[in-house]
């Protein structure tokens, strides 16, 4: 028997956690002028919500909504593996050694992906595409089942950061073995958040809170001069409760976990996060990892990578990198929190 942790649709599946981190509403007050402007919609198979404290005179609410939608749709059109016509899907269909011209956006994301892969000893690896599909977490409705050892061994040759070569300045990409497929689901949502931030700033917006499928970035303060507050969700499969509140002024917050996107077979839980070193879903007691960093792209990728590394190795690396990270570890009673020193400082400052 298998049970899915979440209904599948488009990127929702690939982008996993969805609303792992939810926006905690600030104080409303009676003064309607103090309410933030809101632009909300759907993209990448998930939802987004952008709050802006004050609109510049030359930006209407309609232009805000339209501009944000254009930014998120562009990232989807480039990097979705759920769209046959995306830039990434076209690359994935190519054979080995053929150079493929990539957009500046995709080149930027791939360069960061390679950097995070190096930083994490290969725990982060965007070439896991074929494994994600084999474990039935990729695009398309599939029966969820555990692949055989032979199937996994065969795919080993198609996975590895070293199997893709990015010529960043020349903005081109090639694969060094046939059938290599890239999956940017662990980093593209964070990048989309950064793109929206960049666009808002280019339009003179100085205070905002952006949330796409649970990944967030904030800048400035609300009109009442208090910082934007967000909530980190408790990693439970069925209920949605805020576990902890945090203010994220001029920073990003991303969360990865296995509590929304998984399947169960013979009493075992299979996460959508794959350990490239074993070709199998991560299998430890870590339920979620939340990372606070300057860019949302980095926070997103690191949250996935630290989920692969697990509570011991992950915590040690996060301390070494001085990253602000909250690990939620399953116990028989519920959950334990592990915080890095940098995260501790953030949450202390928050009380
Ligand atoms: P996230 O929700 O950001 O942690 O991203 C998880 C998604 O990234 C999965 O659904 C896969 O599509 C993909 N993925 C799984 N394992 C890895 C990995 N080790 N490195 C990079 N991407 C991964
Ligand atoms: Mg991620």
- pTM here? 0.91
Query: Residue 75: which residues within 8 A CB-CB, separation 6 or more?
Result: 43, 44, 105, 188, 191, 192, 195
* Ligand 1 pocket member 282 (CB < 6 A): no
What does each of the 351 residues of the chain score in pLDDT, given as a tens digit? 333 333 233 332 222 233 344 444 443 333 445 678 999 999 888 999 999 999 999 999 999 999 999 999 999 999 999 999 999 999 999 999 999 999 999 999 999 999 999 999 999 999 999 999 999 887 776 678 899 999 999 888 899 999 999 999 999 999 999 999 999 999 999 999 999 999 999 999 999 999 999 999 999 999 898 999 999 988 887 777 888 999 988 999 999 987 767 788 778 888 899 999 999 999 989 999 999 999 999 999 999 999 999 999 999 999 999 999 999 999 998 899 999 999 999 876 555
Structural contact between residues 270 and 152, judged by C-beta atoms closer than 8 angstroms: no
Counting ligand 1 atoms within 8 A of each CB, the residue from 273, 299, 328 with the most, and so the one to mutate, is 273
Instruction: Report the distance separating Cα 54 and Cα 57, nearest Å.
Output: 9
Q: Quick one: tokens of 152?
A: 């996994």
Closest protein CA for atom 5 of ligand 1:
186
Strands (E), 111-150: none
* Ligand 1 pocket member 112 (CB < 6 A): no
- Ligand 2 centroid to residue 189 C-alpha, Å: 8
Instruction: Report the distance separating Cα 260 and Cα 251, nearest Å.
Output: 25
């Amino acid at each position: 028997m298998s049970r899915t942790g979440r209904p599948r649709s488009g990127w929702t599946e690939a982008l996993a956690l969805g609303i792992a981190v939810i926006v905690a509403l600030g104080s409303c007050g009676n003064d309607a002028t103090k309410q933030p402007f809101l632009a909300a919609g759907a993209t990448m198979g998930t939802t987004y919500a952008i709050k802006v404290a004050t609109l510049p005179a030359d930006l209407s609410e309609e232009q805000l909504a339209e501009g944000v939608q254009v930014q998120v749709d562009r990232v989807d059109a480039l990097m979705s593996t759920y769209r046959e016509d995306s830039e990434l899907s076209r690359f994935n269909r190519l054979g080995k050694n053929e150079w493929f011209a990539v957009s500046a956006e995709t080149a930027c994301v791939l360069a960061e992906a390679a950097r995070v892969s190096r930083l994490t000893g290969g725990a982060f690896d965007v070439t896991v595409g074929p494994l994600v599909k084999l474990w039935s977490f990729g695009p398309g409705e599939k029966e969820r089942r555990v692949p055989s050892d032979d199937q996994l061994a065969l795919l080993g040759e198609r996975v590895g950061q070293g199997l893709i070569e990015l010529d960043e300045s020349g903005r081109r990409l090639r694969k060094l073995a046939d059938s290599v497929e890239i999956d940017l689901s662990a980093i593209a949502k964070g990048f989309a958040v950064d793109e929206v931030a960049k666009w808002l700033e280019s339009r003179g917006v100085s205070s905002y809170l952006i949330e796409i499928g649970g990944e967030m970035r904030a800048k400035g303060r609300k009109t009442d001069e208090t910082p934007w507050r967000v909530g980190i969700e408790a990693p439970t499969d069925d209920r949605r409760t805020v576990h902890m509140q945090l203010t994220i002024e001029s920073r990003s917050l991303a969360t990865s976990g296995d509590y929304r996107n998984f399947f169960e077979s013979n009493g075992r839980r299979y996460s959508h996060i794959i350990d490239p070193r074993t070709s199998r879903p991560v299998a430890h007691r870590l339920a979620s990892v939340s990372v606070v960093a300057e860019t949302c792209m980095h926070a997103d990728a690191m949250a996935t990578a630290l989920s692969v590394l697990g509570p011991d190795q992950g915590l040690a690396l996060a301390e070494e990198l001085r990253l602000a990270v909250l690990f939620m570890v399953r116990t028989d009673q519920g959950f334990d929190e592990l915080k890095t020193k940098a995260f501790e400082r953030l949450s202390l400052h928050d009380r």
